[in-house]
Chains A and B, each alone.
Chain A
């Protein structure tokens, strides 16, 4: 299975640059997820790897071949499209075998492969149906099957779950995760849904404005976001970000948010110049009931969102909006002022001007 390397990749539509100087390496057998908001260039990047979009500059290497000028069919890739793109005039078996028939593979082997993949995806009973006779989830599987049958070394997914309803999406996500345990391929997956990214990826590449913001394992991105964008994008509910000013207090570095003073992690002691503008980040789940952590956080609760075992409290802290995740038993206290606490070591601190993490 080849390693994919992208070097100084560029894409311009006319004079408008969409991607400028993108460098990425996707290791062998790795499940890489490109994630970012719409228009961040993730789909364009994937389509350039697939060969569906011309490259304006730079190189794409799959294994030891530079492929950026090759036709899609010569790149050794299989792809699952957002709208499935099943051929409406062919039945499921014909859809799945299309590539193999084009490659003039012997009939017996085509049948065997289609059977095997159809069994794996539990769609054997659908083989003679047309796409229009299938439900959304079944079409999704067929699209997956059509890609799997190829046995191509590289697998591309372009937002494959975005057309499914919420329940089916969760289910298919789990099946995708199961499938990738069985199929050892180099997979690149594009999505705007950070939950999909977190649950599926070996490695997440967060993109914004055609630029890679950060790449790493889901844990790395969650625990050590490199900048404000990644901090706000990864994790649900989103991280609380509070504008603050750096002050020094007797107990070490601290941030003043309005008239509130929050203790900062000790490790940041020497790295910051006092009196600078910063943004303090704190995950909703890192906010605990009063007395648990060293830092204190008074919140004027405005609203609670019940979500089963957990609930979200949305409130106001020194004039800025914060979200707190609590177990639902705690919600019954209702609206009004409440005191919470946090562990200063779990605070993320960013420079306000550049957005970079300290």
Chain B
């Protein structure tokens, strides 16, 4: 009996802990959505904290601004293209690092992670200088895409290496005997089997590219701005448009959410696929 009690007490404690954690992570989102549905007077008034008549005014304002839709498009392009590029190069590099034996393989393999440890902010000034004065890539979406791809590649290579290492080599050998050339072995046999890894890597890359602020701020202009940069522009010396900031914040949160749900489905189906021998 006392054992049952202690189990129940332990589970109660863990429920409380989980509830507290859930509250901590959900509260900002709730506040954001609530604020986005309020008028300016309601935001700053102290009466209508939780009970108010919602309005879509902020969304109307945000979406009717042609600039914002353009920036949303920019963000989508940057995140999507850099994700595709990162995965394309990342999976090939990871495959080479896992399967081929060449000089410096170990150094490159661990070196990829070292690169990941450099904070992006450190790169801001040198990248700006090089992009602007050497290659003229400033103010272009391509410049941002290139940078995000470079920043995310190390981690993606690292994550995919472990997935590729788990693909049984006899499968590749069977494919070679079946007449596949090295590219066919890779694209027709290895790649479908590391889908879960690709999905995880895609979620990671997409989110980073979607949310990145400092480098985008430095490298873009009023035509090529991404959404996070745009949000910061609502903070002016005269005015802070909290309602619109929160509306944009809410809108920005949607694509990564959708993308994550789509991609995570691959992770789940992938986990049950495996199995080579009986």
Chain A residues within 8 Å of B, Cβ to Cβ: 50-52, 71-73, 77-79, 81-89, 98-99, 102-103, 131-132, 134-136, 139, 146, 150, 163
The total of Cβ contacts below 8 Å across the A-B interface reads 82
Contacts of B24 in A (CB 8 A): none
Contacts of B272 in A (CB 8 A): 132
Candidates B176, B275, B277; contact of A163 at CB < 8 Å: B277
Evaluate contact between A88 and B274: CB separation under 8 angstroms.
yes
Evaluate contact between A82 and B170: CB separation under 8 angstroms.
yes
What's the nearest-Cβ distance from chain B to residue A44, in Å?
A: 13
Contacts of A79 in B (CB 8 A): 173-174, 177
Docked Cα-Cα span, A65 to B17, in Å, equals 72
Nearest first, the 9 closest Cβ-Cβ pairs linking A and B are: A136-B278, A99-B178, A85-B170, A85-B174, A73-B179, A83-B277, A89-B192, A132-B275, A102-B179
What's the nearest-Cβ distance from chain A to residue B265, in Å?
A: 15
Closest chain A residue to B274, Cβ basis: A88
Question: Does B92 sit within 8 A of A, measured CB to CB?
Answer: no
Evaluate contact between A84 and B276: CB separation under 8 angstroms.
yes
Interface residues of B in 171-218 (CB under 8 A from A): 171, 173-181, 184, 188-189, 192-193
Evaluate contact between B273 and A73: CB separation under 8 angstroms.
no
Interface residues of B in 25-43 (CB under 8 A from A): none
Chain B residues within 8 Å of A, Cβ to Cβ: 168, 170-171, 173-181, 184, 188-189, 192-193, 272-278
Docked Cα-Cα span, A71 to B168, in Å, equals 20
In the complex where A131-B275, A163-B278 touch, is A88 in contact with B193 (Cβ < 8 A)? Answer: yes
A and B contact pairs by CB, cutoff 8 A, 6 listed: A78-B177, A82-B170, A89-B193, A89-B273, A98-B175, A163-B278
Docked Cα-Cα span, A86 to B174, in Å, equals 8
In the complex where A132-B274, A139-B278 touch, is A85 in contact with B180 (Cβ < 8 A)? Answer: no
User: For chain B, what secondary structure do more than half of its interface residues adopt (helix, strand, loop), or is it mixed?
Assistant: helix
What's the nearest-Cβ distance from chain B to residue A296, in Å?
A: 51
Evaluate contact between B171 and A135: CB separation under 8 angstroms.
no
What's the nearest-Cβ distance from chain A to residue B176, in Å?
A: 5
Candidates A82, A84, A103, A139; contact of B179 at CB < 8 Å: A103
Evaluate contact between B173 and A52: CB separation under 8 angstroms.
yes
Docked Cα-Cα span, A282 to B14, in Å, equals 72
Besides the known contacts A81-B173, A98-B178, 8 further A-B residue pairs in the complex with CB atoms under 8 A apart: A73-B179, A78-B177, A79-B174, A86-B276, A87-B171, A89-B193, A132-B273, A146-B178
Closest chain B residue to A84, Cβ basis: B277
Evaluate contact between B277 and A73: CB separation under 8 angstroms.
no
Contacts of A131 in B (CB 8 A): 275-276
Docked Cα-Cα span, A210 to B193, in Å, equals 36
Closest chain A residue to B171, Cβ basis: A85
Evaluate contact between A72 and B278: CB separation under 8 angstroms.
no
Contacts of A98 in B (CB 8 A): 175, 178, 188
What's the nearest-Cβ distance from chain B to residue A70, in Å?
A: 12
Contacts of A84 in B (CB 8 A): 276-278
Evaluate contact between A73 and B193: CB separation under 8 angstroms.
no
Docked Cα-Cα span, A77 to B275, in Å, equals 26
Candidates A78, A83, A132; contact of B168 at CB < 8 Å: A83
Evaluate contact between B277 and A87: CB separation under 8 angstroms.
no
